[in-house]
Amino acid sequence: MWSGVRNILDIAGFILVVGEVGINTLIYLAVGDKINAGLNAAAMIPAVGVGVTASRAAKEVADVVADVVEQVTKKYW
């Protein structure tokens, strides 16, 4: 559940002021994810935020691709 909420907040963070609220940072802290809480806090800095959010999104895409490759490899190799 929280994953979906955090993804929505990451996207909303591209909108000025909304991204500076810090709700997402507090959610990460509440669930004990200090690394993403720190990244999210850094993302509240205007120019840094775009890079942090983009890199986090790229990591999620890479994780999905790795899972797909693993499943295909197991099935066909």
The pLDDT of residue 32: 92
pTM: 0.47
Cβ-based neighbours of 40, under 8 Å, separated by 6 or more = 22, 24, 25, 28, 52
The pLDDT of residue 39: 81
pLDDT by residue, tens only, the chain of 77 residues: 667 777 777 777 666 655 556 777 888 888 998 988 888 788 777 766 667 777 777 888 888 899 999 998 888 87
Task: Round to whole Å and give the CA distance between 15 and 17.
Answer: 6
Tally of domains within the chain: 1
Domain of residue 47 covers 2-76
